[in-house]
Structure 1
Amino acid sequence: MKNVKVYTQPACPPCEFVKQYFDMHGIEYELLNIKEDADARNELINTYDSLSTPTIVINGEVIIGFKQELIDDLLNIS
């Protein structure tokens, strides 16, 4: 099973799209709200060098924004 994290925040339409996409494909993911969780915010900035949502981490591979082809490749979605 792939380890998938989605860093998100309220009022982020692309974040909602990512969640719907993963749900549609039955992909399990950990949702991290950077507005409510300071540890998640710090991890996003310091570990993944990102200031944007959605930021998706799949088995350590960082994807900033919704990049469907890369996501599909990493998760073997056809």
Structure 2
Amino acid sequence: MKEIVLYTQPVCPPCEITKMFLNENGYAYTIKDIKKDAAAHKELTRKYKSFSTPTVVIGDTVIRGFDLEKLRSAIGVK
């Protein structure tokens, strides 16, 4: 299984839905809160060229926003 990193921030309904999907399906993931962690914010914007949450990084795949189809595909489930 590839490492899953979720970039999130408080009061982000799509972030909560993404967490629910990952939790309900038993996937381990790392949360990086861009409001509490300046390094995570910098990494999100500079390395991944993303300015929105949620952003999910699975291996080399970057998913911006909540997209169930892309999440399932990147994780390898149908």
State TM-score, norm by structure 2. 0.96
Paired with 1:50 and 1:70, the residues of 2 have a C-alpha distance of: 16
Stretches (4+) displaced over 6 A = none
Displacement, 1:67? 1.0
CA distance in 1: counterparts of 2:71 and 2:43, whole angstroms: 21
Map 1:16-35 → 2, pairs under 5 A: 16-35=16-35
* Structure 2: runs of 5 or more not aligned: none
Whole-angstrom distance in 1 between the partners of 2:14 and 2:70:
16
Q: What is the Cα deviation at residue 2 of structure 1?
A: 1.1
Aligned length: 78
Percent of aligned pairs sharing the same letter: 44
Q: Which 5+ residue runs of structure 1 have no aligned equivalent?
A: none
Partner of 2:38: 38
What TM-score do you get using the length of structure 1 for normalisation? 0.96
Between the aligned partners of 2:74 and 2:8, the Cα distance in structure 1 is 20
Deviations 1:22-52 (A, max 9, x none): 0000011110000000000000000000110
Quote the RMSD (CA, aligned, Å).
0.7
